[in-house]
Amino acid sequence: MARKMLIDGEVNHTNQVEEEAHFDFDLFVIGAGSGGVRAARFSANYGAKVGICELPFHPISSEVIGGVGGTCVIRGCVPKKILVYGANFGGEIEDAKNYGWELNEKVDYNWKKLLQKKTDEIIRLNGIYKRLLSNAGVKLYEGEGKIVGPNEVEVTQLDGTKLRYSAKHILIATGSRAQRLAIPGQELAITSDEALSLEDLPKRAVVFGGGYIAVEFASIWRGMGATVDLFFRKELPLRGFDDEMRAVVARNLEGRGINLHPRTNLTELTKTEKGIKIYTDHKEELLADVVLFATGNNNPYACYEGLQYSGLLKQNAIGRQRICRASIAKKQEQKKELRQEKERIDLLLLFCLGRSGVEMCLKEENEHSQTAPNAQIRNAEQARDEDTGDEVGGGVKKKRFSHPSSEEMASGRAGRAPNTKRLNLEAVGVELDNAGAVKVDEYSRTNIPTIWAVGDVTNRMNLTPVALMEGTCFAKTVFAGQPTKPDYNHIPCAVFSIPPFSVVGLSEEQALEQANGDVLVFTSSFNPMKNTISGRQEKTVMKLVVNAETDKVLGASMCGPDAPEVMQGIAVALKCGATKQQFDSTVGIHPSAAEEFVTMRSVTRRVTASGKPKANT
């Protein structure tokens, strides 16, 4: 029976040929990761006949290897979190001593045991995902899928047999894959895939990148006792997140013993008898057992190229906005008012950058002493042209590494690349962006009416729960007669560093960019109760960003133990449009860290849209 699809409240009648055509499937999905499985199951529940294909299982992916469950389950969120749990015990053992636990000085660690437990768990989850599909009545094919026509797919099975099926709708959900940076000796480095399956725990690890993947693996290996050096291009890690909270994360990384190397690029890797030799653009040399490439903009809040194509990037969305870019000349007018705040930023930079970056940072700060304080970090980071990598100064252009461009992503030179190369999309006419991501509209539909795409392959907001949301919205739109657009506002996110960092809503910088009036900033920094006994010198920091006129809470962030668990609840409040007064009127749970979010009543600073702080009144 032919189906009708509702878009914006209007029935979209298919042409007579399609109405009378017979298809093998109502929906065929290529890719059985989080988004694909969700879309397939929900579509089947709405009465659709669904087929899905996925590459054969392996912990380390390639163009011809994958596995049901996708990146998150097999080589992403789940195994990463297992390793984070394992790494946390390193600090817990130290903290336990002041709680009366008498421990031997030497504590042995069995990496291979954890690795086997991790592998057992992802195999179990792979089986669960297969059963979920089977129980929903979805037909699973193991093999490589590609699109050969607007309504036709081809599946190459493991034995080489090719099968072709017709489908009224085709959904692309093939995700993305980690890439290596193109420098001499790149083959000696690993990506996050291999990092989750190393046979031996490294004693010396180098991580190149400043995104959440880099920060998380640096924390994991350090927690397990390795010497870790973290190199990144900017002044602070986690570009795109709230600057003040980025500084907190950097301080914690150093406090845990990770060596930070800001504003530094790796230029070459060579193999020696003593390990991998790393060369930097500052003429540094060091040896490591493993080098992890985790470059590229892997802040999910910055993956909005697809949203810009679809028209979803609105004023209140969190996207790839180039914020606070007023010229230095204009900001010279604010010189007097900014001096005191500049001193605060200088101290902040000193506090978070440590020995390795402070001299360089202070040099640039002195050269640009007129810069507005709330933009100092960002202006320093944006001194190089983001698109070309050219550093401009004194009338001279000098080629430097910078934030990877879309062309770099497309050529596989940085970060993660969408898995679209082997899908035959160009031949069918499906439009891709410069990074190779599938372009879609507000309903996840491509320029070909029968072909759709969800998840990381569209490079919108690359998070597993977002792919699940997109898959759900797709199924409702196409098979339930309920046209539903994914809502990208107030999506919480966590960085599982040690301790973890979690956010929802707007950062202070994003709030200022979008504000029509003043923004109120509330912060709290305190020693967690557990640390008062253990003696660990590591503070929890919380932050709320509030619209001064409406009292609406625009954003929240936290760095400290259990931050993701706390932030999930805060996300519900922001989704419901909570005000600061409603936060203040909520009774806290005592004693807990979370209660601090409902007791922050004193304004830390009041900031105008121009970026100039006002005296608290």
Residues 6+ apart with CB under 8 A from 87: 219, 220, 221, 222, 223, 224, 498
User: Can you tell me the distance from the alpha carbon of 413 to that of 564, in angstroms, rounded to the nearest whole number?
Assistant: 31
Please confirm, yes or no, whether 590 is among the known catalytic residues: yes
- Known binding positions: 81, 145, 174-176, 209-216, 415, 456
User: Can you tell me the distance from the alpha carbon of 2 to that of 511, in angstroms, rounded to the nearest whole number?
Assistant: 47
Token pair recorded at residue 262 = 């800001």
User: Can you tell me the distance from the alpha carbon of 536 to that of 11, in angstroms, rounded to the nearest whole number?
Assistant: 62
- Give the residue among 445, 369, 504, 550 at the shortest CA–CA distance from 172: 445
Q: Which residue has the tokens 């996708």?
A: 70
**Which of these is catalytic: 22, 282, 403, 590?**
590
The alpha carbon dihedral of 329, 332, 333, 334 has a sign of positive
User: Can you tell me the distance from the alpha carbon of 446 to that of 432, in angstroms, rounded to the nearest whole number?
Assistant: 9
User: Can you tell me the distance from the alpha carbon of 260 to that of 283, in angstroms, rounded to the nearest whole number?
Assistant: 16
Pure H helices in 393-550 = 406-410, 425-428, 464-479, 508-514, 529-534
- Neighbour tally for 22: CB within 10 Å: 6
- The helix (run of H) or strand (run of E) holding residue 291 is strand 290-293
CB-CB contact of 75 with 59 (8 Å)? yes
- Give the residue among 278, 110, 101 at the shortest CA–CA distance from 186: 278
Token pair recorded at residue 248 = 């907190």
Query: If DSSP codes are grouped into helix, strand and coil, which group holds residue 558?
Result: strand
- Neighbour tally for 298: CB within 10 Å: 25
User: Can you tell me the distance from the alpha carbon of 303 to that of 297, in angstroms, rounded to the nearest whole number?
Assistant: 8
- Neighbour tally for 108: CB within 10 Å: 5
- Give the residue among 202, 180, 206 at the shortest CA–CA distance from 191: 180
Peptide bond just before 528 cis, omega within 30 deg? no
State the burial class of residue 358 (Cβ atoms within 10 Å of its Cβ: 0-12, 13-18, 19+): middle
Token pair recorded at residue 159 = 């034995």
Token pair recorded at residue 408 = 């770099």
Pure H helices in 388-448 = 406-410, 425-428
Residues 6+ apart with CB under 8 A from 8: 483
CB-CB contact of 284 with 262 (8 Å)? no
- Known binding positions for FAD: 81, 145, 174-176, 456
Which residues are annotated as catalytic? 590
